[in-house]
Amino acid sequence: MKYLALAFATTATTALTAIGAHAQSAEVVHWWTSAAESAGVGVIAHAYDGLGGEWIDQAVAGSDAAKAAAISRMVGGNPPEAAQFSLGADIDNLVDSAVLAPLDQVATADHWADIMPAAVMDAVTRDGHVYGVPIQLQGTNFLFASRDALEKVGAEMPQTWDAFFATGDKLRDAGIIPFAQAGDRDVWFMNTFQAVLASVVGTEGWNEFTGPNGPEFVRTEAFRPVAEIMAKLPSYADVGVSGRQWNITNQMILNGEAGFFIMGGWAIGEIGAAGFTPGEEVLCGVGPNQGPLVVAGDIWAMPAKGDGLTEAQVKLAEVTTSVEVQAAFTAAMGSLPVRSGVDTSGFNACAAAGAASIAEGNSVMALFINFSPEKLGALGSELKVLWVNSDATADDYVETIAGVLENY
Amino acid sequence: MAKFSGTRAHVYLAMMPVWIIVLVALVGSTIWTFVISLTSSKLLPVYKFNFFHQYELLLKLPAWQVAVSNLIVFGLLFIAICLVFGFIMAIMMDQRIRGEALFRTIFLYPYAMSFVVTGLVWQWVLNPGFGIQAAVRGLGFETFTFDWIVQPKRAIYVLVLAAVWQGSGLVMAILLAGLRGVDEDLWKATRIDGIAKWRVYPSIVLPIIAPMAATATVLLAVSVVKAYDLVVALTGGGPGNATEVPAKFVMENLFARQNIALANAGAIMMLVAVVAILVPMYYARRYSAQKAGA
């Protein structure tokens, strides 16, 4: 008992000194837990610690669980200094409820409006105030292919959907799964849909789809090929889709078990972490036809603690958007920097293709930016249901997608 | 009790913490959940009331209807099969077999695992890529197919399979305790009358252990309504929406879809379902207890 009491006393004292000494400690909730991801988040943590702060890591596996943890703590009155959210409509409700601290002082001091793309600034600005620290941008619609698999059937990286399906037929005859689809979360079906949509309808069609006349657009001939491709894709995938995580699916490309895989840039980091060179053993392109890059991103939402930003929050925002951290962080993650002035010459072939698309203006903001989480969730689960329905036709896709756009 | 009436105050005092926890954590949270379900809250609670609007939305939602019908199929099969299996296992254990303790441990062991572990284990076992199907094919039976987990029309039975594997041991343990409580003289009497053993169990023993069976049923029913972790670990609600259940619908809307009012309406509907199961059972048991007492 005596030892126990002593232990308690020591812990209590340590806790008290901890509060006193580290006024600049920052608790950060995020969902970066895979190998490449934790290396990336380590870059920010290290840089933050280097400035005399103390990074308290609160990694939660899975974006839904991480957001749930952060929101629970905000509701409970004990918010972390920063929490990862997706760029876009994800923070709308938080802003409406006045839970977040405006970041205007940092944004103005560091001239975010000059160094960040306008679309990114729009996505974090509400009523003229900035409410999120952009951390990284990600292309979500890379088409990866196993070089081994393609060489076995004597095929090149396809440049059209027709070529994609023709190669798919050859792969299937050779006993290789043509298309690897992840299926443990609805969002992966959304992701594949976004890739098909962007490659078929291009930038203008994308804006129509996300605009007020979305349902009408879905019923036009311009959208038709999207539905046809979506209806055809499941027959090129294997039966193990349901419940399979994206990184396990990624492995299927790495070991030549499957031919093609559509996934976001985060897979590039994972391919590198597995000891492969993106662009060598694993080929990549933006969609099959170099259509617009579908850009998503991550931000730090900074909950208000007392009045305005705390010193720790300001420091974290500055560190995250600094040139050095952006360069090292995006290199580790396989993602794209949120600001200009970052040296991208060290990028691998896949990430460079993404960066080039953005530079050329050949990019659109992902559906996550405009659509509410509710709408996204509905679309994702409908797409998941259609995927396993082998009788689903292009008409079913058109009606279902138009229905979601109308109802949410 | 009368003998200890002088110390009653102490009893109540000792119970106070429990009552506070029950009132604040259970009753309080339930009321709060109900209140939020009457609002238009999205991500955070806001108290703009639109009364039963969320319930109206909920009952019209195909996703909720699918979840409820899945739960009914799952629940009926799971409870029925668990009770039958548990009863048969309990009878077999009751034959004074050698190594009873060993078997009891083996049968009860699955229950010691969380549903998440059960779900993952069965997910691997049933995965057509590397589970039973792949193993049997590896033995040379090339056309062997067992891929229920990826078939939208069969996946719900996979859920039942895994849940029965976990739950029937508990039913066995409860019913075995009941069987051991059956008066030895009754057995002697049936032997003298020359009644076959297979007739004695359903006609004489089963009514005696009925309260035990009711307890087991209630425990199983409650685990059905809150089925969430098993589904998440085993099928993730898929393929498609073939194994979606209400609890998963609630969890998804609570955070991922940022619609807590709708989620709480779903949670209240689940509570109503539980109450609808428990209240009649409670009265039935009280009624039969009174009858036995009279």
Residue B15 is assigned to a structural domain of this protein: no
Question: How high is the pLDDT of residue A13?
Answer: 43
Q: Of all residues in chain A, what percent carry a pLDDT higher than 90?
A: 60
Confidence of residue A14 (pLDDT cuts 50, 70, 90): very low
Report the run of H or E that residue A59 belongs to, with start and end: strand A54-59
Average of per-residue pLDDT across B227-240: 88
In a domain, A286, yes or no: yes
B33, part of any domain:
no
Instruction: Give the best residue of B42, B255, B262 to mutate against chain A (max A CB count within 10 A).
Output: B255
A149, A222: one domain:
yes
Note whether A385 contacts B: Cβ–Cβ < 8 A.
yes
- Is residue A5 a part of any domain in this protein? no
Residue A323 sits in the same domain as residue A335:
yes
Q: Which of A343, A359, A375 is the last residue of a domain?
A: A359
Say if residue A66 is in the same domain as residue A204.
no
CB contact under 8 A, A75 and B44: yes
Domain boundaries, position A254: 142-295+363-407
Percent of chain A topping pLDDT 70 = 94
Residue B244 has pLDDT above 50, yes or no: yes
A212 lies in some domain: yes
In this prediction, residue A7 carries a pLDDT of 46
Quickly state the pLDDT bin for A398 (edges 50, 70, 90): very high
* pLDDT, position B131: 84
pLDDT band at residue A9 under the 50/70/90 scheme: very low
Domain CATH code at residue B103: 1.10.3720.10
- What pLDDT is attached to residue B5? 54
Q: Which two tokens stand for residue B70?
A: 């899945």
Banded model confidence at residue A23, pLDDT cuts 50, 70, 90:
low
Token pair in block for residue A323: 């040139």
Give the pLDDT of residue A4. 47
A201/A254 same-domain check = yes
Asked if residues A197 and A206 have their Cβ atoms less than 8 Å apart, the reply is yes
CB A308 within 8 A of CB A129: no
Give the DSSP H or E segment for A348.
none
pLDDT digits (tens, 9 = 90+) for A293-333: 999 999 999 999 877 889 999 999 999 999 999 999 988 88
Query: In percent, how much of chain B has pLDDT > 70?
Result: 97
Task: Say what the pLDDT of residue B256 is.
Answer: 82
Which 8-state DSSP code applies to residue A264? -
- Please tell me whether residues A261 and A378 are part of one structural domain: yes
Degrees to nearest 5, angle at CA A371 with A62 and A204:
120
Residue B39 lies in a domain: no
Within A208-340, strands assigned E span 258-263, 282-286, 293-301
Residue of B148, B118, B120, B119 lying closest to B132 (CA atoms): B148
Inter-chain residue contact A388 with B127, CB threshold 8 Å: no
Q: Where are the alpha helices (DSSP H) in A174-223?
A: 186-210, 214-218
A341 touching B (Cβ < 8 Å): no
Looking at residue B33, its pLDDT comes to 94
For residue A343, give the CATH number of its domain: 3.40.190.10
Q: What is the pLDDT of residue A370?
A: 84
Q: Residue length, chain B? A: 294
**HEC sequence for B206-273:** HHHCHHHHHHHHHHHHHHHHCCCHHHHHHCCCCCCCCCCCHHHHHHHHHHHCCCHHHHHHHHHHHHHH
Using DSSP, state whether A382 is helix, strand or coil. helix
By the CB < 8 Å criterion, does B240 face chain A?
yes
Domain membership of residue A167 (yes or no) is yes
**pLDDT over 80 at A16, yes or no:** no
Residue B284 domain-assigned? Answer: yes
Q: Is the dihedral of CA A237, A241, A244, A246 positive or negative?
A: positive
Task: Answer with the residue of higher pLDDT: A81 or A65.
Answer: A81
Predicted ipTM? 0.74
pLDDT tens by residue, B86-99? 999 999 988 888 88
Please tell me if residue A340 touches chain B, with a CB cutoff of 8 Å. no
Whether residues A243 and A372 fall in one domain: yes
pLDDT at A199 exceeding the cut of 90: yes
Q: What is the mean pLDDT of chain B?
A: 88
State the Cα–Cα distance between residues A322 and B226, nearest whole angstrom: 47
Domain count, chain B: 1
In sequence order, the 6+-apart residues with CB closer than 8 A to the CB of A156 are A150
Highest mean pLDDT of the ranges A11-20, A69-78, B126-135: A69-78
| A317 in the same domain as A178 | no
Note the pLDDT of residue B294: 55
- Domain membership flag for residue B23: no
Closest CA to B266 of B76, B115, B78, B57: B57
The answer to the question of residue A14 being in a domain is no
Strands A142-146 and A177-180: unpaired
Instruction: For residues A149 and A213, state if they share a domain.
Output: yes
Instruction: Judge whether A12 lies within some domain.
Output: no
State whether A174 and A53 are in the same domain: no
Q: Does A158 lie in the same domain as A291? A: yes
pLDDT, tens only, B165-200: 999 999 999 999 999 988 889 889 998 998 888 888
Q: Any idea of the CA torsion for B116, B122, B127, B130, to the nearest 10 degrees?
A: 110
Q: Quick one: pLDDT band at residue B290, thresholds 50, 70, 90?
A: confident
In a domain, A82, yes or no: yes
Contact A389 B240 (CB under 8 A): yes
Highest mean pLDDT: which of A217-221, A351-355, A388-392, B250-254? A217-221
Mean pLDDT of B206-215: 89
Tokens 């572990």 correspond to what residue? B117
- Using the beta-carbon criterion (under 8 Å), do B236 and A185 form an inter-chain contact? yes
CB contact under 8 A, A94 and B43: yes
Number of domains in chain A: 2
Residue A8 predicted with pLDDT over 70: no
Residue B164's contacts (CB-CB under 8 Å, 6 or more residues apart) are B78, B81, B82, B85
Note whether A59 and A81 are same-domain residues.
yes
How far is residue B249's CA from residue B263's CA, in Å, rounded to a whole number?
7
DSSP string, A79-114: --SEEEEESSGGGHHHHHTT-BPP-HHHHHHTTHHH
Mean per-residue pLDDT, B149-156: 88
Identify the helix (H) or strand (E) that includes residue B157.
helix B155-180
Distance of CA A109 to the CA centre of its chain: 28
Q: Calculate mean pLDDT across residues B102-114.
A: 89
What does the pLDDT look like over B258-267, one tens digit per residue?
A: 889 999 999 9
Q: What six digits make up the tokens of A336?
A: 């794209």
CB A321 within 8 A of CB A241: no
Q: How far is A129 from chain B (nearest CA, A)?
A: 20
Q: Is residue A125 part of a domain?
A: yes
Task: Name the residue range of residue B187's domain.
Answer: 65-293
The pLDDT tens digits of the residues spanning A337-370 come to 999 888 877 787 888 888 888 888 888 999 988 8
With 0-12 / 13-18 / 19 or more C-beta atoms within 10 angstroms meaning exposed / middle / buried, residue B111 is: middle
Q: Which two tokens stand for residue B163?
A: 């849940």
Name beta bridge partners: A299. Answer: A85, A134
Q: What is the pLDDT of residue B7?
A: 66
The reply to whether A245 and A270 lie within a common domain is yes
- For residue A123, what are the CA distances in angstroms to A44, A129, A133, A298? 22, 11, 11, 11
The arithmetic mean of pLDDT across residues A91-98, rounded, is: 88
Chain B residue with minimum CA distance to A372: B257
pLDDT of residue A277: 87
